[in-house]
Amino acid sequence: MNQIKVVVAGASGKMGSEALRMIDKQPDLILVGCVDKRNTGKKVSDVEGLIKSDAVFYNDINLCFKEVSPDVLIDLTSPKAGYKHTKAALLNGVRPVVGTTGFTAEQIKDLSELAIEKQIGGIIAPNFAMGAVLMMQFSKWAAKFFPDVEIIEKHHDQKVDAPSGTAIKTAELIQENRSSKKQGHPEEEEIMTGARGADFDGMRIHSVRLPGLVAHQEVIFAGPGENLTIKHDSFHRESFMSGIKFAIDHVMQLTELVYGLEHLMID
Ligand code: NAP
């Protein structure tokens, strides 16, 4: 079998180490290198808590690409590192599958143009949980019929941004199918600041932060006498891995950079 050679950037991190476990279970994928700030020069097998693999950690992505010639880069780092790594991948003929969040619209445009110039396919997906992608798409559909909607997103208390990128993306998708409408009573008044959540085109977004949570979201639509709740829960980081595998399978056939897994999940 022709295995797809994969490098993981951010391999010592929470998502990256989960990606290593996913690769380890897939007979058609092989880990050939890791990039991280930590563990430089070490074998993956020699790092506590990681999989058994002879792949080596690099702190220089260009050197890593040169020495191990991967087909695919999985990037799960930080916005700054992720942008640099994705650019390096495109310049080196390596297909990027990027889960790192926080890229600006301008950065995505730059990378898309570079992918076209280099004729290299890639995927950037702010959410690789396939259930979450479907939750967003179902919400967009429901908004056609139910303009009254509020979003409640819940995350672990180490998350620094609120509302979550997924909640904002959901609101943007809903907005495409919903005329602007201020949710709640026209004269409602907040007795405590923030009680009604963030205002996105009149929709309300509520952010809950508690220890023990991973990533959860409910989109509540309502009409006279009925409620429709579209709910997704990521209980574990494993929930993002089937989407990453799905993206790797597709990226080998792409000749451009795709932003958002939904563009590949078409029937
Ligand atoms: P994390 O545990 O902090 O892991 C990030 C890893 O990247 C760390 O090992 C970090 O090293 C390393 N890193 C940072 N800058 C680097 C650089 N310049 N060069 C090499 N390695 C570098 O974070 P995480 O929870 O795994 O999340 C990683 C990313 O995935 C975040 O952007 C997060 O928002 C995103 N995410 C995406 C999805 C999705 O479905 N798309 C889901 C969950 C999370 P240090 O610890 O030494 O800094």
- pLDDT-based confidence at residue 1 (cuts at 50, 70, 90): confident
Ligand 1 binding pocket includes 35 (Cβ within 6 Å): yes
Q: How far is the CA of 99 from the centre of ligand 1 (A)?
A: 9
Query: What pLDDT does 40 receive?
Result: 97
Q: Cα-Cα-Cα-Cα dihedral of 267, 128, 250, 34, to 10°?
A: -170
Query: What pLDDT does 238 receive?
Result: 95
Query: What pLDDT does 189 receive?
Result: 95
pLDDT tens readout for residues 133-169: 999 999 999 999 999 999 999 999 998 889 998 999 8
Q: How far is the CA of 159 from the centre of ligand 1 (A)?
A: 12
Structural contact between residues 15 and 99, judged by C-beta atoms closer than 8 angstroms: yes
pLDDT tens readout for residues 102-132: 889 899 999 999 999 999 999 999 899 999 9
Please state at what angle helix 130-142 crosses helix 165-177, rounded to 10 degrees. 30
Lowest mean per-residue pLDDT among 70-74, 155-159, 193-197: 155-159
Q: Which residues are known catalytic residues?
A: 155, 159
Rounded to the nearest integer, the mean pLDDT of the chain is 96
Q: What residues are paired with 75 via a beta bridge?
A: 9, 98
**Residue 78 CA from chain centroid, whole number:** 12
CA distance 214 to 11: 19
Output the residue whose Cα is nearest ligand 1's atom 32: 100
pLDDT tens readout for residues 229-241: 999 999 999 999 9
pTM higher than the cut 0.85: yes
Q: How far is the CA of 36 from the centre of ligand 1 (A)?
A: 9
Q: Ligand 1, residues 42, 57, 78: which to mutate, most atoms within 8 A of Cβ?
A: 78
CA distance 166 to 180: 20
DSSP the chain: --PEEEEEETTTSHHHHHHHHHHHH-TTEEEEEEE-SSSTT-BGGGSTTS-S---EEES-HHHHHHHH--SEEEE-S-HHHHHHHHHHHHHTT-EEEE------HHHHHHHHHHHHHHT--EEE-S---HHHHHHHHHHHHHTTT--EEEEEEEE-TT--SSS-HHHHHHHHHHHHHS-----S-TT---SSTTTT-EEETTEEEEEEE-TT--EEEEEEEEETTEEEEEEEEE-SGGGGHHHHHHHHHHHTT-SSEEESGGGT---
